[in-house]
Chains A and B, each alone.
Chain A
Amino acid sequence: MRKRITLFLLVAGLTAGLIFAQAKPAKVIAIKGARIVPVVGDDIETGTIIIKDGKIEAVGRDVAIPAGAEVVEAKGLTAYPGMIDGYSLLGLQEISGVNETVDNRETGRINPQVRAIEALRSDSMHIPISLANGITAALVAPSGGLISGQSTLIKLYGWTNREMAIKASAAMQIEFPAIRGGRGGFGGGMGRGGGAGAADATRLIAELKELFNKARSYEKRKAFAAKTQTVGLPGLDETSEFLLPVIKGDLPVMISVHSDRDIKAALAFVKDENLKAMFYGVEQGWKVADELKKSSIPVIIGSTYDMPPVWEDGYDQLYLNPVLLNKAGVKIAFSSSSASVAWNLPYHAAKAAAFGLDKREALKAVTIYPAEIFGVDKMMGSIERGKAANIVLSDGDILETRTNIKKVYVDGRDCDLSNKYTELLEKYKKK
């Protein structure tokens, strides 16, 4: 009997050891001989990156490789920081036409209490595909109504949703109407935002202000009731509860806003309410670029795979918009605005470059700029000492369609890049 128990323990221990050994990243990794594009700072023609305990320990041309390090020969490859998707539906949508698999739109117009992280499907088939294309982090946002809920910033590697959360609650999503394509547009757009219906932003802003004021009164009442103990507690006001962090400035808002008129109104609103804010969509942002610059509000560009909403703005308006915003000094980040083609993130950036955006700015807009916008630039967005080892090794320019991604490190872990695409391909290759 004891022999069997011992045998069992031995086998179990070995297995656990193996699993454990596989699961745990090598303590020190040296990526050697790669061309390094840190994004912040100059490119290094041939250099070495040292990863220790999931962080970037050193990066440079002549960096000593510690003994016992796992050496990754990266000659002929380029090292980039992992890309960051400024807005996606990853984990909230499997098959967009099958409602049972769609979780990004709650019913009702006012839903500050819903949190994307709580529905994030960590094993979505779309996440590894994006990861395999060099995207290591993404904002995942709910949508619909006026206040859609709380978006989350995740890394695209993890075994559970909570493990993936970089910021469980990244921003409060607010949506203003899309520009009506209708008679004037190029056949209308996909209408990002616009869940609030035909109402224009002015009325919606008034509604938001009312909600904010209500939340403030609610808080005051709660505080007073707590102090005096004799005054009755206010009944639970869910909306106010979950708006309070926004009002207090602890949680930024991401406002999905589209027409120039609405952008101006949104700028005033953010100022009035003293909110920490970022804007998403902003298709006519180029018309009010100076105002945006002055406000220091960053802009997350929507997908370039939309039809231009306003005829008079030209067939290339969605491509030129980020170019003009960037030129005016507005901080921009690109997004996939998708789940199933979230891996196209770099090509949206390249598209803007095709229409005049400086290529380096384009790269920054999928790396360091989104990191800064989401307040995680100390952790990621560039290959710099001290940051998380989110590193991509590619055989070419990461924004180019033909480039192949060879390795993706998230927190220093060499991620398995197999995904639905590769699995099915491998299966049928064996036919």
Chain B
Amino acid sequence: MRVRQWAYLVPVFLIIFALSWSAPLDVGPTYAVRNAKIVPVTGPVIDKGTLIIRDGLIEAIGAADKVVIPDDAEIIEAEGLIAYPGLISAHTNLFLEEAAAPARAAGEAAPSPAELMAGAAAQPQSPQYAELFAFKNLKPRKSTLDGLLRAGFTTVLVAPNRGIFQGQSVIVNLNGEEPGPMVVKNPAALHINFTTNRGGYPSSLMGTIAYIRQSFLDADHYAAVQALYAKNLKGMIRPEFDPFLEALGPYLKDRKPVVFQCNNYEEIKRALKIIEEFKLNALLTHVNEAWRDADILKKSALPLLVTLDFRPPNGSKYVSQGEDLRKKAEAEIYPANAANLAKAGLKFALTTFGLNDAATAIKNVQAAIKAGLPKDEALKALTIQPALFLGLAQQLGSLETGKIANIILTKGELFEDKTQVDKVFVDGVLWKF
């Protein structure tokens, strides 16, 4: 061909190129999970059903005799297996690179003078890591991923766990060791904990509360001054840049979600006061004593991320009135938290926050069920409810066409004793244990 004819082909090639850029470079297999019992969570159970997974999404779901299996689908015979949405833990501290010190729960003894001194000398402390993105410190390890997936978890929120303003969390699908492709939402929320800054200010809980309030006041003030400056670049003294207050901005101005960690029932009330004062868009996490504030929580209608960690808070009256009561608290009272919340008609998600491994979490779900939490409520609390709370309900939390194909296939019903997770799909890819 002559040069001019080649020239006409260039834009054609460019267009084809452009179109192909929009397609994922790595196309995984299409799957047809056939003849499984399907529990969509947001719809009726399908006794014998088929799921079609393509390009990471659920392409089709329905009765086995109704769903057409595409030609390019790899068939997964799932007779005898049950398909559930992958479980979501709406609060974890997984995969964080620095071995961060665990956040101190309220009720712990105040640091001794020696500790204060030592703390100050030992490592740089700060009550504020608001600019810290959990995503930046993610280092997923296969062994941890395996454990989570074997327990049925396919999505987790990872929050930093140091300081009072702990930083901004990220929501990830457990699809591999590369952080980038895991991200579902970043940042997810700003996390605040009622802890203290050992070795510095604030070193007391009341100081922390004042500090949180002052920080929000300052963030408001900062934003107002910045806004005024933007209108008066000529003639106004330039306000000082503050990265911390900058980071808080969106959570006040745009009402981005703020998660308060409430380690006992008093902290729930303390959080509510702050949330009310600054009109924050808030969620409460940990809250393993939430049942004690059921009435108040009903009125506030805040999303509750309820931990499956049943350890009674240190200062709880249930652990300071004799051995018998303490044993009862650990064995019966605290495991019944979720059941009581359900009874009171409160909406909540269950999380693995504070637990060392996912298997314990599942055991604790069983304990919660034994203590009176209806099984389907437990399932909702680990699927659609966290999805709703975290703003992911379009993408995750149930088995619906168009949602991300995070699916677990179990031998036996979820939360039964002998149940095993047989297969897991994360982002439509079959996980290799």
Q: Do A and B bind each other?
A: yes
Cα distance A311–B324 in the bound complex, in angstroms: 11
| Nearest chain A residue, comparing its CB with the CB of B321 | A311
Whether B367 sits at the interface, judged by CB under 8 Å, is no
Scan A159-198; emit 1 where CB is below 8 A from any B CB, else 0. 0000000000000000000000001100000000000000
Number of residue pairs across A and B with beta carbons under 8 Å? 12
Contact with A along B303-326 (1 / 0, CB 8 A): 000000000000000011111101
A362: min CB distance to chain B, Å: 30
Let me know if A423 is at the binding interface, CB within 8 A: no
Please give the number of chain A residues whose Cβ is less than 8 angstroms from any Cβ of chain B in the complex. Answer: 4
Using CB atoms, name the residue of chain A closest to B322: A311
- State A403–B59 Cα separation when bound (angstroms): 93
Does A312 interact with chain B (Cβ within 8 Å)? yes
CA distance A184 to B320 in the complex (A): 6
In whole angstroms, what is the CA distance A261 to B156 when docked? 51
Cα–Cα, bound, A184→B322 (Å):
5
| Docked complex Cα distance between A184 and B323 (Å) | 7
CA distance A183 to B107 in the complex (A): 13
CB interface residues, A 305-328, toward B, < 8 Å: 311-312
Q: In the bound complex, how far is the Cα of B6 from the Cα of A30, in angstroms?
A: 140
- Chain B residues with CB under 8 Å of A184's CB are 322-323
The answer to whether B319 touches A183, judged by C-beta atoms less than 8 angstroms apart, is: yes
Interface of B (DSSP majority class): loop
Which B residues lie within 8 Å of A312 (CB)? 322-324
Taking CB atoms and an 8 Å cut-off, the chain A residues in 344-375 that contact chain B are none
Contacts of A183 in B (CB 8 A): 319-320, 326
CB distance from B64 to the nearest CB of A (A): 57
Identify the interface centre among B321, B322, B324, B326: most chain A CB within 10 Å of its CB: B322
Q: Of residues 323 to 369 in B, which have CB atoms within 8 Å of A's CB atoms?
A: 323-324, 326
CA distance A312 to B322 in the complex (A): 6
Q: Which residues of A contact B324 (CB under 8 A)?
A: 312
Q: With the chains together, A312 CA to B326 CA distance in Å?
A: 12
Bound form: Cα–Cα A260–B96 in Å: 49
A312 to B324, CA, bound (A): 9
A380 to chain B, nearest CB (A): 44
Interface string of B98-134 (1 = CB under 8 A from A): 0000000000000000000000000000000000000
> Which A residues are in CB contact (< 8 Å) with B319?
183
**Alpha-carbon distance A311/B319, docked complex (angstroms):** 11
- Which residues of chain A come closer than 8 Å to B321, judged between CB atoms? 311
Report Cα–Cα, A44/B319, bound state, in Å.
55
Q: How far is the CB of B413 from chain A (nearest CB, A)?
A: 39
A77 to B: closest C-beta gap in Å: 48
Q: Could you list which residues of chain A lie within 8 angstroms of chain B, going by C-beta atoms? A: 183-184, 311-312
- Interface pairs (12), CB distance under 8 Å: A183-B319, A183-B320, A183-B326, A184-B322, A184-B323, A311-B320, A311-B321, A311-B322, A311-B323, A312-B322, A312-B323, A312-B324
B interface residues, Cβ below 8 angstroms from A: 319-324, 326
- Closest 7 pairs (CB-CB, A-B): A311-B322, A312-B322, A311-B321, A184-B323, A183-B319, A184-B322, A183-B326
